[in-house]
Structure formats: structure tokens, C-alpha cells
């Protein structure tokens, strides 16, 4: 029952009935479903928190540590009320993750979860794309577009707006007319072009997994539709981060499927073709424009760590107060808000997943399940695409990030079970902890060096 309720709750993350049918009002279907799933799956959640499990699956430990870091980031600055509020929100995300890894405990369930997620995401993006093309047709020649855009840009996120998608102004033509760029947005938590593009990359990889599944016979070719839809959605978001995420996901898939040399060769060719083929979306300039603006945001945040705030950070949700905007980089955002300890926990969620995939590939760990073995390149592609996408987004505390983390952790758990002799792929010990700390310190040091080299203050 917990598994079925969790599938329904996860579907509600993508397709919210209240958005499709406004007459339902503020009914939070997801909250009811996830609460019921948690109650039914409490024993499995408890098992994920056992000390032995935390050692055998370091990602679980990172999630618990990350949740506690949200509270300590506020306590260290005297914000007890903010600590309680932040901890309350993050515990909900932690329970979502723990429930996922506890109920997705077989190859069949993991496959079903990928199927439901791919279908729900495809439906959500299809609805968004259809609405987007109608929106563009409606607003392309509207004389009042600029005025409406100015009126709505400071409205709260949940406030009703006429502009359902992002409209950016990119200069004027020779006649002085504004040049508008319409950017596709999704529903709910994906109502941001960059969020939607990252999810489209993940969905494309999932769709490819089913497209190349010969056990589905001719029915597998139906998945060509979602694959094409995802590519179109990525282009319509005009998200440079989405293009980078797509490239990273493709290279990760190629590296695991065909080897690193093939991935590098095709990656170089793709990098050369992108600026020509995609125009503005393929322009990755960092010396000016939005690229330079984001580097300056990173510099403003990292400057806060040159103090006693390094261990515990400035406080969850406080980045906007020091930089004016969020970091648009989840790794830097986590280190600045949660300090080195919290940033290490956030980074560890993805470091241990990548480390496990590397160990499986490098050590040629035999997996006694053909379907689990076939999944590996696709989940590596999801990992690569999402990790790259987070370098252009601040998404440290939202469920969709930990849906990806949970899927990867569930896969790694299953690989450990289906080894010739069941044992964890990676278990915590002194050497692993040392490498984890050094990798986190290296990431932070590289971030400092990068902003020092490339920040151009006018």
C-alpha cells in the first residue's frame, strides 16, 4: 500500500489537479497522499535510519546530515524560529527520500517508478508546450506586452498572472521594435524555464530507456514521441543550463555504455556544433550578460564564507539577503547557506552516487540481473544531466532534486544486493570519509578560484 500511495504522490508532484482544474481551489492532494504513504511505510523508513544502513548507504547519512544542517545554519546565527521552520520543511523532504528508497526495493519497482515518472513528466510537459504555443500566438503582437510584463515582474510567485510563461527582452530591431524571447515554463515546481529544461533532460533519458527496451516489442516505439517532445521543450525554454545538462547527460550515458574515449570524442564534436546550431541558447559566454551576472552572484555568496560562518553558513534561505538573488548554483548555494558541513552533506548525495557508478564500472562488479545492468547507462545519464543542471540552478531543498537522489540510491542498493556476494557498493570507513571531505574542500576551493579569475566588476 505504501508503494502505491507513493507512486500516486509522486505523480501529483508533476500533475497537480488544482492547476488543471482551478475549481478545486487549494486542495493539496500531494500532501494527503505522501502523508498516507509515510504512515503506511513507517517501518521501512525506520530501517533506512538504522546505524548499519547509514554506514552501508552513505547517501542516507548525507540526507540526514543535510536536514540537520538546515537547523544548525540558523542556530549558529541565533535564529531559533527560522531553525524550527527550516527543519520542519526539510524533514518533509527527508521523509520523501527515505520513503522512496524504502519502497523502491526491487528491480521491478524501480522500473515501474521510472515508467510512472516518465509518463507523468511527459504529460506535464506536453500540457505546457501546447499552452506555450497558444501563449506565443496570443502575445507576439500585443502592444501592451511591455506594460503587463513590468506590472507582473514583482508579483509573488503564487499570484495569478496573465504571462504564464517567461518573456525576456533582448534588445530592439533597426526599427526600434522590442525583440521578445518567449521561454517555456512548466506546471507547479517546474514553473521556471531552467527547472523545466533539467526535468526534460531527465525525462528524455527515461524515455530512451524504454524506447530501447526490446521486451516491449513494437510498443516501445511509442516512446519516440516523448523523446522528440523533450528535445523540443529544451529548445523552447531557451535555457543554456538545459543545453549543458543535455550534453552532460549524453556524455555520461556514452561513457558508461561505450567508454570514455567515445564520450569525449562525441562531446567535443557536440560542443563545436552547439554555438552554430542553437544561436543564443548555444552562447556560453561568461565575460558578460547573464553568465557574468551569475559569477558575480557566486562571488557575493562565497565572500560570506571568509569568516567564522564557514562551518555552519549564513542560514538557509539567506542567500538573497547578501546577493540580491539566489546563487543559481546549488553547490555554491548549499556551501554558503549551510556552511562547509552542510555543503559537504549536499555534495555527498551526488558524490557517492557518482563514486558508486565509477566503482561498478571500473571494478567490473558483476550484477546478477540483466535489467539492472541495462539500466546503468541511463541512470548515469540522469545523474550527469541533473548534476550539471544544478550548476545553473539553486535547488537544494525541493523534492524533485531528492527524487533523483532517491532513484540513484535505490539503484545502488539493488546493485549491492544482486552482486555475486551481496554487499554494499560503497560503505563508510575512515578512508571514504577522508576522500569525501577532501573532495568537498576541493570543490569549494575550485569555486573560490573560478570566481576570482572570471569575475569582472564594472
pLDDT reported for residue 47: 93
- Are 208 and 227 in contact, with CB atoms under 8 Å apart? yes
Q: How far apart are CA 443 and CA 457, in angstroms?
A: 23
Q: Identify the sign of the CA torsion 48, 51, 53, 58.
A: positive
Q: Which has the closest alpha carbon to 407: 356, 363, 364?
A: 356
Residue with cell 557518482: 354
- Are 233 and 197 in contact, with CB atoms under 8 Å apart? yes
- Is the model's pTM score more than 0.85? yes
Q: Which has the closest alpha carbon to 185: 201, 202, 199?
A: 199
Other CB atoms within 10 Å distance of the CB of residue 256 = 22
Q: Which has the closest alpha carbon to 208: 223, 189, 196, 192?
A: 223
- Sequence-ordered list of residues with C-beta below 8 angstroms from that of 407, at least 6 positions apart, any chain: 100, 104, 110, 113, 114, 379, 382
pLDDT tens-place values along the chain, 458 residues long: 899 999 999 998 888 776 766 666 666 788 888 999 999 999 999 999 999 999 999 999 999 999 999 999 999 888 888 999 999 999 999 999 999 999 999 999 999 999 999 999 999 999 999 999 998 888 787 777 777 777 767 766 666 677 788 888 776 667 667 778 889 998 888 888 999 999 999 999 999 999 999 988 899 999 999 999 999 999 999 888 899 999 899 989 888 888 766 666 555 555 555 554 455 555 556 666 677 888 888 888 898 887 778 888 899 999 998 888 888 999 999 999 999 999 999 999 999 999 999 999 888 888 899 999 999 999 999 999 999 999 989 999 999 999 999 999 999 999 999 988 889 999 999 999 999 999 999 999 999 999 988 887 76
pLDDT reported for residue 143: 74
Give exposure, 186-218, as e/b (b: 16+ Cβ within 10 Å).
Answer: bbbbbbbbbbbbbbbbbbbbbbbbbbeeeeeee
- Are 95 and 36 in contact, with CB atoms under 8 Å apart? no
pLDDT reported for residue 66: 96
Q: How far is CA 373 from CA 56, 105, 342, 411, in A?
A: 21, 16, 33, 10
pLDDT reported for residue 8: 93
Rounding to the nearest 10 degrees, give the CA dihedral for residues 115, 121, 124, 128: -140
Q: Identify the sign of the CA torsion 305, 307, 311, 314.
A: negative
pLDDT reported for residue 403: 96
Please report which helix (H) or strand (E) contains residue 171, including its range: strand 166-172
- Are 248 and 385 in contact, with CB atoms under 8 Å apart? yes
pLDDT reported for residue 345: 97
Amino acid at each position: 500500500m505504501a508503494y502505491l500511495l507513493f507512486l500516486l504522490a509522486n505523480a501529483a508532484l508533476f500533475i497537480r489537479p488544482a492547476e488543471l482544474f482551478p475549481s478545486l481551489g487549494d486542495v493539496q492532494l500531494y500532501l494527503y497522499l505522501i502523508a498516507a504513504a509515510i504512515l503506511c511505510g513507517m517501518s521501512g523508513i525506520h530501517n533506512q535510519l538504522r546505524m548499519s544502513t547509514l554506514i552501508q548507504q552513505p547517501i542516507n547519512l548525507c540526507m540526514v546530515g543535510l536536514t540537520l544542517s538546515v537547523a544548525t545554519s540558523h542556530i549558529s546565527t541565533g535564529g531559533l524560529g527560522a531553525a524550527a521552520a527550516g527543519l520542519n520543511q526539510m524533514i518533509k523532504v527527508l521523509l520523501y527520500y527515505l520513503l522512496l528508497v524504502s519502497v523502491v526495493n526491487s528491480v521491478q519497482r524501480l522500473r515501474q517508478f521510472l515508467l510512472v515518472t516518465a509518463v507523468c513528466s511527459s504529460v506535464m510537459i506536453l500540457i505546457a508546450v501546447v499552452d506555450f504555443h497558444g501563449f506565443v500566438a496570443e502575445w507576439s503582437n500585443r502592444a501592451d506586452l511591455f506594460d503587463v510584463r513590468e506590472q507582473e515582474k514583482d508579483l509573488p510567485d503564487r499570484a495569478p498572472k496573465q504571462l504564464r510563461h517567461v518573456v525576456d527582452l533582448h534588445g530592439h530591431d533597426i526599427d526600434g521594435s522590442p525583440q521578445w524571447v518567449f521561454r517555456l515554463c512548466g506546471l507547479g515546481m517546474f514553473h521556471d524555464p531552467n527547472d523545466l529544461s533539467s526535468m526534460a533532460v531527465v525525462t528524455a533519458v527515461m524515455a530512451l530507456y524504454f524506447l530501447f527496451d526490446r521486451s516491449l516489442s513494437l510498443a516501445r516505439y511509442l516512446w519516440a514521441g516523448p523523446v522528440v517532445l523533450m528535445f523540443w521543450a529544451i529548445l523552447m525554454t531557451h535555457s543554456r543550463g538545459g543545453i549543458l545538462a543535455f550534453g552532460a547527460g549524453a556524455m555520461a550515458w556514452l561513457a558508461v555504455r561505450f567508454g570514455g574515449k567515445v564520450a569525449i570524442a562525441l562531446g567535443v564534436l557536440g560542443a563545436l556544433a552547439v554555438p552554430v546550431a542553437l544561436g543564443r541558447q548555444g552562447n556560453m559566454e561568461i565575460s558578460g550578460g547573464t553568465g557574468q551576472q551569475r559569477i558575480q552572484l557566486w562571488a557575493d555568496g562565497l565572500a560570506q564564507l571568509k569568516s567564522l560562518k564557514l562551518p555552519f553558513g549564513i542560514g538557509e534561505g539567506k542567500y538573497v539577503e547578501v546577493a540580491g538573488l539566489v546563487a543559481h548554483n546549488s553547490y555554491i548555494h548549499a556551501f554558503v547557506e549551510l556552511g562547509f558541513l552542510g555543503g559537504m552533506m549536499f555534495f555527498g548525495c551526488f558524490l557517492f552516487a557518482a563514486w558508486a557508478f565509477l566503482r561498478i564500472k571500473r571494478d567490473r562488479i558483476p550484477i546478477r540481473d540483466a535489467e539492472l545492468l541495462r539500466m546503468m547507462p541511463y541512470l548515469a545519464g540522469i545523474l550527469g544531466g541533473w548534476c550539471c543542471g544544478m550548476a545553473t540552478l539553486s535547488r537544494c531543498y525541493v523534492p524533485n532534486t531528492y527524487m533523483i537522489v532517491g532513484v540513484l540510491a535505490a539503484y545502488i542498493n539493488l546493485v549491492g544486493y544482486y552482486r555475486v556476494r551481496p554487499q554494499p557498493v560503497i560503505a563508510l570507513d575512515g578512508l571514504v570519509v577522508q576522500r569525501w571531505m577532501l573532495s568537498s574542500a576541493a570543490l569549494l576551493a575550485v569555486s573560490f578560484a573560478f570566481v576570482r579569475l572570471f569575475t569582472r566588476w564594472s
